[in-house]
Amino acid sequence: MTDPISNLGRSAAQLNPGSEKVKNAKVDSDLAHTVDKTIKPNNDEIIFSAATESALTNAEFNADKVAKIKAAIEEGNYPIDARKVAESFASLERMIGGE
């Protein structure tokens, strides 16, 4: 069968919406066999490694400095180096191949 808009043929999987459900069910069952059965997170739960938990517990930052920067941004007094911003965008563009 040909798509009337693109004039391209469709595969059987595209014509059969149920086939995607079958594929997803197979992937889900494959994953169920590989997942450690001892860890059963609830919905929207993140389980961190011991190293991550330790890093989060012992994280240090200068709360006073953060408060000052936040206040300066809110007041519109935070200095912005336009050259550094432009250089960062240029390097990002090079990295993603948008030269």
Q: For the segment 9-40, what is each residue's pLDDT rounded down to a tens digit?
A: 555 444 555 555 545 555 555 555 555 556 66
45-88 residue pLDDT tens:
889 999 999 998 888 889 999 999 999 999 999 998 999 999 99
CA angle 34, 40, 42 (to 5 degrees): 130
Instruction: Tell me the CB-side half-sphere exposure of residue 86, using CA atoms within 13 A.
Output: 3
> Phi and psi (nearest 5°) for 4?
-70, -20
- Tell me the residue type at 63: A
Burial class (CB in 10 A: 0-12, 13-18, 19+), 48: exposed
> Where in the chain are the domains?
12-96
Tell me the whole-structure pTM to 2 decimals: 0.32
